[in-house]
Amino acid sequence: MEYFQVVITLLVVIYMIISLFAGHQRTIVIYAISITILGLCGIISSKEILQGFANEQIAIILLLIIIGNVIHKSGLIELIFNPLFKNSTTEKGFLARLLFFVSSFSSFFNNAPLVAMLMPYISSWSTKNNVNQSKLLIPLSYAAILGGSATLIGTSTNLLLNGMLIETGHPSMGIFEFSYVGVPMILFGIIYLLTVGVKLLPNRPSPVKFFGKNKREYLVEVFVAENSPLHGKTVKEIGLRNLKGLFLVEIIRNNYHISVSPKNIIYSGDKLIFAGDTKEVISLIDEFKGLELPLGNQLSDKETIEIVEVVVSPNSSLQANRIKLSNFRSRFDAVIVAVHRNGERLSGKIGDIILRAGDVLLLYANKGFYTRIDGINDFYLINKLKENKFYRTWQRVVLLVGLAIVIILSALKIIALFKGLMAVLVFILIFKIADLNDLKNSLNLNLLGIAAMSLALGKALINSGLADIIAHYLIFIFQPSGIIILLAALFILSSLIASFMTNITAVSIIFPIAYTIANNLISQGSLTSVIPFVLIVAYGASANYITPVGYLTNIMVYSTGSYKFNDFLKVGLPLWFLHLIVSVSIIYLIYIH
């Protein structure tokens, strides 16, 4: 029976790794399938599956995300950010302030909203100072990663790991237990990025800049000729809603811009704007008699065209949906002009593209767009700052001071972090800093499900005996070379899984193995605590520098900065080695030596 459980658990882990790497299914679906199989095979009980949803650390993750989003919408960070960057005119000066600011704040706030809030500033500053965003966006993401790994609450990875540790009966780690390595790593990381890293960064224009110079690759304009047979017919009657590779996004009549619906009537003299695969324009002209290209086959230069750049959020309802089935135009009063993924523009018919988290969308935005996106979290604006609700100064002060007091009291172990964050949430509602609808929109139920099932996966690895078998072989291979090599091996394993999948997956797979190794070494008298082996997994899982796909902030800047996959390897590999050396050395000196 034990052999059967080991084999099933191993096959499930292999399935997860392959599926997450391929990316054909949503992460939560892959986790749900895996946990269901493990449950049906009796490897984990129903109680063990459900325990994760009641885990205090996962509740803390959700509370921090909600409070972080309220802070983001309050404009509090912008108030601090504006004077800090006001007089920064040189690339290096701006970058130094950016790295310090982001790494400091990301130690206490959710990384993704922080990076999303700063990207419009970077876009604006780079345009004004004639600096390409590709020189700034990878450092922005790396600074968020460095800061997040410096405290217990800096990243959901650390909180999840702490939750898994508590499930074993071990007391919770302190908020600043991660800081012994995290703070020195922030300093070393900033120095590296300002000296060596800045020279390795590419210098490429962003998709929006490219759009400005190459509109014909995104949009095409045609005229409805006089005496056209299309005159007086609706868009639906003509068949302009189901074109191969092109999508009708706007009708211009007497300089008036009309949003497209199937009932719109086409008249001679109208200008029709299409987006998508503009190479199909010749087929369009051939198919629909009475359509003509403008003189010189060039798109007119119109000031009224507003192209907005957004990135699909991890909690977006757009994920895993075809664009044509998402009702994007009616929901947001905007049309998707192009989709960039993994640094490349996707070709083919836009309506058939299935969206993923991290996709960068170029939108042809109408007047109602900014009103309609208020209060939604389907995507982050990149090249334009989203308008925040009006907040009074005292509300911002209550929010910031309240959170600071909770963090301090929790660090001193006067109150539990969960209870303190609940108190902050109550104050937010009492002082009307946000309403229940705002809080509901901030909930990341996708993350809740993945995190809860990660705890169940970790339990399955221990219950089945697979963690013990892998731990035994790792000890056999690496222990003769010393505990330092064993720590380095766990860092590398955690980092590689995180870099090509997610850091939550890395933690859920490697933690049970590291915990088992630590207990074996304790029984041998070579170790006195499991903490160093828990911490090394956290640092390894957070060291997401070498690929753009393992960490959300990397995904967010990938297409926006016009990066290639190799850019992350070139800039991130030295930083990754630095993180490995600093982590192993400090953990060994503090906890083992």
Do 115 and 173 reside in the same domain of the chain? yes
pLDDT of residue 349: 66
Residue 421 belongs to some domain of the structure: no
Do 13 and 153 reside in the same domain of the chain? yes
When divided into structural domains, the chain yields a total of 3
Query: d(Cα 244, Cα 254) in Å, to the nearest integer?
Result: 28
Q: How far apart are the first and last CA of the chain?
A: 41
Q: How many CA atoms lie within 13 A of 228 on its CB side?
A: 23
Do 78 and 178 reside in the same domain of the chain? yes
Name the more confident of 81 and 290.
Answer: 290
Query: d(Cα 170, Cα 384) in Å, to the nearest integer?
Result: 46
Do 41 and 139 reside in the same domain of the chain? yes
pTM greater than the 0.85 cutoff: no
CATH code of 322's domain: 3.30.70.1450
pLDDT of residue 590: 93
Q: pLDDT tens digits, residue range 171-210? A: 989 889 999 999 999 999 999 999 999 999 998 776 555 5
Among 270, 297, 324, the domain-final residue is 297
pLDDT of residue 184: 96
What does the pLDDT average to over 474-483?
A: 86
Please list, in sequence order, all residues whose beta carbon lies within 8 angstroms of the beta carbon of residue 439, skipping any fewer than 6 positions away: 66, 70, 425, 428, 429
Do 71 and 10 reside in the same domain of the chain? yes
Are 338 and 363 in contact by the 8 Å Cβ rule? The answer is: no
Residue 387 belongs to some domain of the structure: no
What does the pLDDT average to over 287-303?
A: 59
For residue 543, what are its two tokens? 């060291």
For residue 104, what are its two tokens? 């400091």
pLDDT of residue 315: 64
Residue 303's pLDDT band, with cuts at 50, 70 and 90, is: very low
57 torsion bin: left (phi>0), alpha (psi -120 to 50), beta (else): alpha
What does the pLDDT average to over 393-412?
A: 82
Do 81 and 187 reside in the same domain of the chain? yes
Do 74 and 219 reside in the same domain of the chain? no
Name the more confident of 41 and 388.
Answer: 41
Q: What percent of the chain has pLDDT over 70?
A: 87
Do 224 and 110 reside in the same domain of the chain? no
Which residue segment(s) compose the domain that 246 sits in? 209-297
